[in-house]
Amino acid sequence: MVARRSSRAPILPYRRAELSTPGHDLKMLRKAAGTSADMVLMDLEDGCAPSQKVPARGVVVEAAKTLDWGGKVLAFRPNGLRTPYFFDDLTEVVGQAGEFLDVIVLPKVEGPEDVRYVDRLLEHLEWKHDLDPGRLRLEVLIETAQGVLNAGAIARSSPRLVALLFGIYDYAGEVGATVGSDTFTDFTFAKQSALAAARAAGLLALDGITARFKDLELTRTESESSRRMGFDGKWAIHPSQVDVIQRVFTPSQEELDRAVRRVTAYRHADREGRGAIVVGEEMVDEATLRTEMRRVALGRRLGLLSPET
Ligand code: COA
Ligand code: MG
């Protein structure tokens, strides 16, 4: 058995790829632990065989306690709040493996009251099982029509929240959409709702899956579109997608160099009493630098830039 993790270990302040792995399959969970994903999500919901819903809880507990997860954020996804499984999923898995878990991913969240209910349950479970108060963090899926409409209130509903995740297939199923080749046109409103809600509350935002997982070129182009839209990362459903996604959401050295150059030029101009400046063919001011400043901050967190840069 691996050493017990400190219950105060800080969880990563970024998420590029989150890998979803069926909770009933220990072999796949072992494989997931060996990937480079920032977070692995052991799934009791839609990725878990319906016939295995109850025994899968024990598999998730065993995996959490015995596998070496490296520096990854470790999460599990219980079944939805409106299913007969939810309560036992939460109490059994947290009760038996709470000190090994970082995040609980809530599916099909409809409104802030769903999150507040789980927040209170976790408060009790943390008391009962002697876990640090607030140690268990939440990421929630925005994947219903209500969820999209309530995204702003959901994002502000609990201090445990770390990220909002957009779930494309459930959302498509609910509104009657087909997931086709351009999800960035067809689902703009829903994606942007999740993204703006997350940002307004200071949370991370992750885009949904590319179900045609064998097509790594598609995974890459969809990741690039998500990143361009503003997302911090994306879900993976297969280990082969993880590296592709991680790479897209990691700022390249070229991007970091360019950002540092432009930010430095702007600061220098400011010291000389100038505001907007021209770098190359482009006007650069405070607003045009904001995304680059975010990338520089991420580059620092990832150790790609020295803290003084
Ligand atoms: N996590 C960890 N390991 C995985 C994995 C995952 N999500 N998906 C596949 N693997 C493993 C397989 O077990 C296999 O391992 P092996 O080489 O040791 O035998 C290897 O990766 C290659 O898998 P492959 O044969 O290409 O795929 P598959 O046919 O076994 O599985 C899926 C395809 C889609 C069924 C599987 O990837 C899966 O269940 N993904 C997750 C689905 C999910 O979580 N859905 C809910 C969230 S939207
Ligand atoms: Mg879903």
196 alpha-carbon distance from chain centroid: 15
Strand bridging mode 277-279 / 233-236 = unpaired
Tell me if 47 CB under 6 Å of ligand 1. Answer: yes
Q: CA 247 to CA 256: how far, in whole Å?
A: 14
Strand bridging mode 282-284 / 277-279 = antiparallel
Nearest CA to ligand 1 atom 29: 238
Q: What is the mean pLDDT of residues 152-158?
A: 98
Q: CA 267 to CA 127: how far, in whole Å?
A: 49
What percent of the chain is modeled with pLDDT above 70? 96
pLDDT at 169 over 90: yes
**Å from CA of 217 to ligand 1 middle:** 18
Domain boundaries, the chain: 17-248, 253-301
Structure confidence by residue, pLDDT tens digits, 60-96: 999 999 999 999 999 999 999 999 999 999 999 999 9
**Amino acid 208: pLDDT:** 97
The closest ligand to the CA of 47 turns out to be 1
Structure confidence by residue, pLDDT tens digits, 112-142: 999 999 999 999 999 999 999 999 999 999 9
**Å from CA of 28 to ligand 1 middle:** 7
Tell me if 210 CB under 6 Å of ligand 1. Answer: no
**Amino acid 2: pLDDT:** 44
**Å from CA of 222 to ligand 2 middle:** 18
Tell me if 20 CB under 6 Å of ligand 1. Answer: yes
Superfamily of domain 17-248: Phosphoenolpyruvate-binding domains (3.20.20.60)
**Å from CA of 50 to ligand 2 middle:** 14
**Amino acid 8: pLDDT:** 39
Query: pTM score > 0.85 for this model?
Result: yes
Most ligand 1 atoms within 8 A of CB, residue of 20, 28, 179 to mutate: 28
**Amino acid 271: pLDDT:** 94
- Going by pLDDT thresholds of 50, 70 and 90, the confidence category of residue 1 is very low
Rg (the chain; Cα; Å): 20
**Å from CA of 205 to ligand 1 middle:** 24
Tell me if 41 CB under 6 Å of ligand 1. Answer: no
Nearest CA to ligand 1 atom 14: 28
Q: CA 199 to CA 202: how far, in whole Å?
A: 5
Q: How open is the CA angle 204-60-19, to the nearest 5 degrees?
A: 35
Q: CA 50 to CA 196: how far, in whole Å?
A: 34
Tell me if 23 CB under 6 Å of ligand 1. Answer: no
**Amino acid 41: pLDDT:** 98
**Amino acid 147: pLDDT:** 98
Instruction: Give the residue, 194 or 3, on which the prediction is more confident.
Output: 194
Q: CA 30 to CA 33: how far, in whole Å?
A: 5
89 alpha-carbon distance from chain centroid: 21
**Å from CA of 202 to ligand 1 middle:** 33
**Amino acid 306: pLDDT:** 79
Most ligand 1 atoms within 8 A of CB, residue of 39, 108, 238, 241 to mutate: 238
* Closest C-alpha among 153, 78, 152 to residue 116: 153
Q: Where are the alpha helices (DSSP H) in the chain?
A: 26-33, 55-66, 86-97, 112-128, 145-149, 151-155, 168-175, 183-186, 188-200, 216-229, 239-248, 253-271, 290-301
Tell me if 26 CB under 6 Å of ligand 1. Answer: no
Structure confidence by residue, pLDDT tens digits, 16-70: 999 999 999 999 999 999 999 999 999 999 999 999 999 999 999 999 999 999 9
Structure confidence by residue, pLDDT tens digits, 260-300: 999 999 999 999 999 899 988 999 999 999 999 999 999 99
Structure confidence by residue, pLDDT tens digits, 221-256: 999 999 999 999 999 999 999 999 999 999 999 999
Tell me if 209 CB under 6 Å of ligand 1. Answer: yes
Going 149 to 150 to 155 to 161, the CA torsion angle's sign is negative
Q: Where are the alpha helices (DSSP H) in 188-238?
A: 188-200, 216-229
